Amino acid sequence: QVQVAESGGGLVQTGGSLRLSCVASVETHWSYCMGWFRQAPGREREGVAAVDSNGSTSYVPSVKGRFTISRDDAKNTVYLQMNNLNAEDTAMYYCAAGPSMLVGGQLLAENYKYWGQGTQVTVSS
């Protein structure tokens, strides 16, 4: 059983930045792909960014150039640096862990087995 826990959400103004953190209960270099997902009220869960154990990454087009995912396997932690935030980024953000996978599947929620409780990100205008 893998446990993941997110932190770092909060309220930020348009154009601001936040860094989310996700700590896993196992050594993440053990072939786990780590992903960030988000869900806004009334909308489906969306894959935002993911990084696999081999360093391959995926981003949803709406965050490319603004968000950066990284992992520190020594700390069993994955980060999501979010810059130039806007109202469309307001959502509950979830961290997830799954088996190492091809880039094409990294943003699909059904490929992840372990999920955190989420951290709220609210962007105000």
> For 94, phi and psi rounded to 5 degrees?
-120, 145
Who has greater pLDDT, 30 or 93?
A: 93
Tell me the average pLDDT of the chain.
Answer: 94
CA distance 93 to 87: 14
Q: Average pLDDT in the 55-79 region?
A: 94
Q: In a 3-state reduction of DSSP, which class is residue 110?
A: helix
| Higher local confidence (pLDDT), 92 or 26 | 92
Largest Cα span, the chain: 41
The pLDDT-based confidence of 30 (bands split at 50, 70, 90) is low
